[in-house]
Each structure stands twice: as structure tokens, then as C-alpha cells.
């Protein structure tokens, strides 16, 4: 959660912002030691609103909020207040009671609201700096309920917080960029506007938003840009370049160029620096000069005409290189020999994998997930609830599995529609064995095996643990292989090369987990997996119907890893997928 969001004018309010406010209220309530029922009610409301999407606005307009299961009069009143005024008075009052430093402490991995409340209320620790000072002096280790291990974890969390300061998840940054680009694109002075920088290249973490605009009137564009309602602070206001801080906290830079310069500026500011340097070198070797203003032959000051980026590459005898690949990792060499991959597209995905239902820690029923999958155009849906050892996620035991499979059989009785497949996200236990025995695992169509415990193993132990799971004949896919949570948890120590090699040797797939905080397998290793002919599975790790839409982030990362349609198992039509895994 991005604490703290600024409430916007009511006409700009959407379901995502409303749910974010209720997430905040749940945290604030716990920090202020209000009734635990309140905190749970706010969190439940946030989930319901996320699940409904912008339909919540239509329901509110009809005056039917209390008809939604789980929304009572008090929550309905708050939703209505947010939509109508863009404010929530009770939220603002709570916020005034909490020091900014305490809110900053919530961003430390391993510290939840309950722990932060205790440090603040019981020991007067109200900032990250003061907490670090206490830990550095080993003061926290002496406090009952904390200890030396917690102290070490907190110090590691503070180090990670500082390391990632100013970085944003790809999904968050894309949302902010899309909103700004949409606004700019509606102006009469603007001929074209596109996102550039690391965001356009689909890096998993970005520091800012870069936009490039084609216009004949840059001054007017810049004046409108710095005056946008979402601009919190202006860093620089120039005639052709401006930098601002948006109300979300992210920096946004806008560059305005003439329409003839636009393709060159877009290419240049998309980067990467390494890619650009090599492109300039190729131009130089061909007797040309390439920069953000154009491509010039010899000593000529008149740029060669290029109507788009594709013509820039063509001028240098290169195939068009998609932005995702522009990292100087062999893409230019491949483009010079016609060897670039035909990258997978979002529409290529035929099945949605790794979906949790209310049988474990998901919100929705299997029938609701099936309906939404059909609406999104998927041919098959792989339900993968947690197995019994993960009690914290309400993991299924053998009786639950039988009950779930009976329900899936009933749902599949009708002709047509989205086929529901019987899957499990089985825990890889400490010794590398998999939760459930072989007889039980054989009842599933697909078994995804993932690590959910004992993250602190050394590199050799953790690698051997995962390889043993890969070698299990009942396991089909290794889920989120590094275990990372971007901006909050480092990957566990593993030899990724050995794991990919083992998957290759055993014919097992590896997941590209599409959750914005995971995006795991990392795209850098996806390239190696493709080289080793390991198939990848794009999983959404969804815990509600909204999560089914996360597949696009997995596709983005798959493209960045040079994957084609045939490299991804759930790009297969249902007939081929069933055949591959011998599913009747």
C-alpha cells in the first residue's frame, strides 16, 4: 500500500483509490488500537471494492451499496462520502493522530501495524531513524517479544527500505503514467505522446516516469503540464522540458519536441544508455550520426526523414527492436541478422494459471472465477489453492481436495465455456519433499510446487531443496522460484542457473509469476531458461477475480525475456494443453 495517498477531487475518484483508502483505514485503525472488528471491516470493504472494480461507482449511483454482500450502512456511508466529496473526514482525523515517522516505519519489511504500534505506543519509537538507533545499540534485542533475530531482520529491512528509496513497482508507475499520458493526449496542441524510459522498457522497478510529446507549441504544452491537478510540486518548468512530482510521490518528466524529431527523441529517451551507445556506434561506422534530434549523413546538418522508430532501425540496416529488448543484451546483433524473436502478445494467452479460490486464502468461489475467466476470453482456468502445511493461508487438507474436485466436476459438466482444471500450489517442504503424498498429488491435473517457508536457508541447501522438488515426478511447474517480493523481500539464496538446468533436464516448467510484487522468474534468467529450452508458465497468483487481469504484467516480463508464444505453456489452445499434461 502506498501510504499516504492524497484524496483527489470527486470527479477523479475511481474504485482503486476508494479501496486504497479503506486499506489505509484498516492500518490506521490497528495503529490507533481501535476495535479489531473495525480494522477487519475496513479491510473486507477494500477487498470487495477491488473485486467490483468501477462497478462500485454505478452501484453507489443507484443507491444500492447495502445490497452488496459485506457492505453495511456504515461502510456504505463512507463510500458515498468519498465518491461525492473526494474526502473522508474520519480518515483525515485518524491521519492527524499518527506521526509521519510512524507511517514510514510501516514500510519496513517484517514490521506490520501491530509491531509498529507497540514500538510507538510502548517504547516511544516514532521514526525509522530512531528505530535504527535503538537496533544499532542492540536495545530491541532486550525487549520481550522481539529479541536479537527480530532486531537483525528490522535492520535488514531498514537497509532494504533505504536501498529502494525512490523506486516504484512497474504496475504502479504504469498506472500513473497512463493517467498523465491520457490527459496530455487530449490537448489540441499535442500530436502524439508516449511513455519512454525504463517504464517503456518494462523494467520491474522504475525511479520516475518519462514522457515524450510531439507538438508545434511546446510552451503551451509545458504550461498545461505543470498546471495539471495531479502535480504536487514543480521541480523545473522550461520551454521544452519540465519535471514535476505527482501527488502519488513519483517524479514525472516531460519533453516536448517537433513532430519530425519525435521518433528520434522517443528512441533516445526510451534507452537504455547502453543500447543507445551501441546504436550511435553503428551509425558512426556507417558514416552517420544518431542523436535525440535525428540521424545525419556525413557532415550534413539536415536529418534524414524517419516517420517512426522502425525507420530509424531500417536506416541502420536493422530490424525493428521492441522497447523491452533495448538493454544491449544481444538485441542489436540479432536485429542485424534477422534473428530477433517474434515476441509473445497479450492475446496469445489462452489459459489463466495459478488462481486461489475461497477454498484456501482466495476471496471468490470457483464459479465466480470461472465466470470472470470466461468474460476475459480464457479457454481454461487452473485453480491452485494452497496445500495443508500452509495453515496461515488456510491450506487444504485431503477432505477439502475431494470436496473441491467434486465441485469442479459439476462446474465442468456444461458444454463450452472455460474449462476448470484441478491444480494445487503444493508447498516445497524444508527437505525438498512436496506437501501431499504421490497418490494425492496424482489426483490433480497440474501441480505447482513453491517455497513458502524457511527462506533463510543457505544457497546450497535452498538450491538442493528446489531441485529435489523439480525431480519429483508429480510436480509440473515450479512457482515463483526466487521468492522475492519487490521492494519488501529479497530473493532467497539460490543458484538459479542450476535450478533452470534441472528444470531443463526433467522437462519441468518454471513460472513467471505475474503479481506486480513478484514478476518472478526474473527476466534476466528467463533469457537463460529460453536458451535451455525450458518452458515457462505465466501465472497470475490471483486471490480474487481482479487478480485474473494481472497476466499482462507476466506477458510484459516474458517479452523482456525474449519469449515467443511457443515458449509459454498457457499460450497453448486447450486441446494442446490437455494433451501435453495428459489431462482427460
pLDDT tens per residue across span 321-353: 999 999 999 999 999 999 999 999 999 999 999
Ramachandran angles phi, psi of 412, nearest 5°: -90, 0
Cell 473441491, residue?
A: 404
Beta strands in 265-408 (DSSP E): 288-291, 294-297, 351-355, 380-386
**Coil/strand/helix, residue 358:** coil
Full-model pTM: 0.81
Establish whether the linkage from the previous residue to 272 is cis, with ω within 30° of 0. Answer: yes
| Cell, residue 95 | 491521519
Lowest mean pLDDT among 46-60, 112-126, 189-203, 561-575: 46-60
The mean pLDDT of 410-432, rounded to a whole number, is 93
Residues of the chain with pLDDT > 90: what percent?
A: 70
The pLDDT score that the predictor gives to residue 12 is 46
The pLDDT score that the predictor gives to residue 361 is 87
Task: Rounding to the nearest 10 degrees, give the CA dihedral for residues 172, 104, 113, 428.
Answer: 50
> Could you tell me the domains of the chain?
10-163 (1.10.150.110), 168-259 (3.30.460.10), 263-336 (3.30.210.10), 346-580 (3.20.20.140)
**Coil/strand/helix, residue 545:** helix
The pLDDT score that the predictor gives to residue 13 is 57
Q: What is the gyration radius of the CA atoms in the chain, in angstroms?
A: 26
Cβ count within 10 A of residue 24: 22
Which residues are bridge partners to 297 per DSSP? 288
Cell 489459459, residue?
A: 351
Average pLDDT, the chain: 92
Amino acid at each position: 500500500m502506498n501510504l499516504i495517498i492524497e484524496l483527489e477531487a470527486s470527479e477523479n475518484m475511481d474504485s482503486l483509490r476508494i479501496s486504497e483508502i479503506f486499506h489505509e483505514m484498516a492500518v490506521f485503525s490497528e495503529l490507533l488500537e481501535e476495535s479489531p472488528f473495525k480494522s477487519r471491516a475496513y479491510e473486507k470493504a477494500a477487498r470487495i471494492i477491488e473485486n467490483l472494480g468501477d462497478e462500485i461507482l454505478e452501484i453507489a449511483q443507484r443507491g444500492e451499496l447495502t445490497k452488496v454482500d459485506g457492505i453495511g450502512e456504515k461502510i456504505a456511508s463512507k463510500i458515498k462520502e468519498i465518491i461525492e466529496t473526494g474526502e473522508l473526514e474520519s480518515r483525515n482525523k485518524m491521519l492527524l493522530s499518527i506521526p509521519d515517522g510512524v507511517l514510514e516505519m510501516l514500510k519496513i519489511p517484517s514490521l506490520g501495524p501491530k509491531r509498529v504500534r507497540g514500538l510507538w505506543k510502548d517504547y516511544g519509537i516514532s521514526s525509522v531513524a530512531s528505530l535504527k538507533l535503538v537496533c544499532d545499540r542492540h536495545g530491541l534485542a532486550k525487549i520481550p517479544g522481539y529479541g536479537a533475530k527480530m532486531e537483525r531482520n528490522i535492520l535488514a529491512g531498514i537497509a532494504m527500505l533505504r536501498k529502494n528509496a525512490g523506486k516504484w513497482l512497474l504496475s504502479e508507475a504504469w498506472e500513473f503514467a497512463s493517467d498523465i499520458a491520457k490527459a496530455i493526449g487530449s490537448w489540441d496542441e499535442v500530436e502524439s505522446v508516449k511513455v519512454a524510459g525504463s517504464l517503456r522498457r518494462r523494467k520491474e522497478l522504475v525511479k520516475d516516469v518519462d514522457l515524450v510529446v510531439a507538438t508545434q507549441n511546446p510552451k503551451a504544452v509545458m504550461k498545461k503540464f505543470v498546471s495539471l491537478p495531479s502535480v504536487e510540486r514543480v521541480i523545473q518548468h522550461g520551454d521544452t522540458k519540465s519535471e514535476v512530482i505527482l501527488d502519488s510521490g513519483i517524479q514525472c518528466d516531460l519533453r516536448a519536441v517537433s513532430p519530425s524529431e519525435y521518433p528520434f527523441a522517443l528512441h533516445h529517451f526510451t534507452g537504455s544508455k547502453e543500447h543507445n551507445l551501441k546504436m550511435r556506434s553503428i551509425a558512426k561506422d556507417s558514416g552517420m550520426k544518431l542523436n535525440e534530434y535525428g540521424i545525419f549523413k556525413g557532415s550534413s546538418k539536415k536529418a534524414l526523414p524517419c516517420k517512426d522508430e522502425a525507420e530509424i532501425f531500417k536506416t541502420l540496416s536493422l530490424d525493428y527492436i521492441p522497447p523491452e529488448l533495448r538493454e544491449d543484451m544481444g538485441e542489436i546483433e540479432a536485429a542485424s541478422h534477422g534473428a530477433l524473436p517474434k515476441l509473445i502478445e497479450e492475446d496469445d494467452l489462452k489459459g489463466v494459471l495459478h488462481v486461489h479460490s475461497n477454498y484456501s486464502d482466495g476471496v471468490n468461489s470457483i464459479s465466480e472465477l470461472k465466470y470472470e475467466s470466461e468474460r476475459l476470453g480464457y479457454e481454461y482456468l487452473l485453480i491452485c489453492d494452497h496445500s495443508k502445511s500452509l495453515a496461515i493461508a488456510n491450506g487444504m487438507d485431503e477432505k477439502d481436495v475431494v470436496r473441491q474436485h467434486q465441485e469442479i466436476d459439476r462446474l465442468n459438466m456444461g458444454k463450452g465455456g472455460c474449462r476448470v482444471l484441478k491444480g494445487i500450489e503444493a508447498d516445497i517442504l524444508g527437505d525438498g519433499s512436496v506437501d501431499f503424498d504421490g497418490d494425492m498429488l496424482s489426483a490433480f491435473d497440474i501441480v505447482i510446487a513453491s517455497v513458502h517457508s524457511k527462506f533463510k536457508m543457505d544457497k546450497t541447501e535452498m538450491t538442493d531443496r528446489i531441485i529435489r522438488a523439480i525431480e519429483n515426478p508429480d510436480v509440473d511447474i515450479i512457482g515463483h522460484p526466487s521468492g522475492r517480493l519487490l521492494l519488501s523481500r529479497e530473493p532467497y539464496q539460490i543458484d538459479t542457473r542450476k535450478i533452470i538446468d534441472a528444470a531443463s533436464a526433467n522437462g519441468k516448467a518454471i513460472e513467471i509469476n505475474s503479481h506486480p510484487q513478484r514478476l518472478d522468474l526474473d527476466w534476466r534468467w528467463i533469457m537463460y531458461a529460453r536458451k535451455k529450452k525450458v518452458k515457462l508458465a505465466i501465472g497470475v497468483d490471483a486471490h480474487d477475480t481482479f487478480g485474473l487481469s494481472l497476466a499482462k504484467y507476466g506477458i510484459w516480463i516474458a517479452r523482456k525475456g525474449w519469449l515467443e508464444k511457443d515458449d509459454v505453456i498457457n499460450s497453448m489452445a486447450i486441446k494442446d494443453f490437455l494433451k501435453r499434461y495428459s489431462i482427460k
